[in-house]
């Protein structure tokens, strides 16, 4: 059986987070990020800072451990908690949190 080359180095066992963003009439696309900025902590900070304008879905994966999953709700709940602590919800996250947080 032929295997595909990894999209993330197998030498590094870490979770990678990617965001599907809605660009309106242009459609939806997975946001490109550098390798160092694809961890959960950086994603949370970037989302709170408004670097994602219309996030739709978030997927995490770890190629070394051969898993992937939709983490949209988990991230939305963490963002909601952080926004509650800060006392404000960034405009860029309002719809996302309404749709995905509990």
Q: Are 61 and 15 in contact (CB under 8 A)?
A: yes
pLDDT at 5 over 70: no
pLDDT at 7 over 80: no
Residue 47's pLDDT is 96
Residue 36's pLDDT is 86
The reported pTM is 0.85
Neighbouring C-alpha atoms within 13 Å toward the C-beta of 12? 12
pLDDT in tens, 8-63: 555 578 999 999 999 999 999 999 888 888 999 999 999 999 999 999 999 999 98
Pairing assessment for the beta strands 28-30 and 55-62 based on DSSP bridges: unpaired
């Amino acid at each position: 059986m032929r295997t595909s080359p990894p999209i993330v180095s197998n030498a590094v066992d870490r979770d990678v987070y990617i965001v599907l963003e809605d660009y309106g009439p242009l459609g939806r696309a997975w946001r490109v990020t550098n390798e160092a900025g694809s961890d959960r902590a950086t994603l949370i900070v970037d989302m709170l800072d408004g670097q994602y304008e219309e996030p739709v879905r978030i997927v995490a994966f770890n190629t070394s451990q051969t898993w992937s999953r939709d983490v949209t709700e988990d991230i939305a709940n963490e963002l909601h908690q952080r926004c509650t602590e800060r006392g404000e919800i960034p405009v860029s996250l309002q719809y996302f949190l309404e749709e995905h947080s509990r």
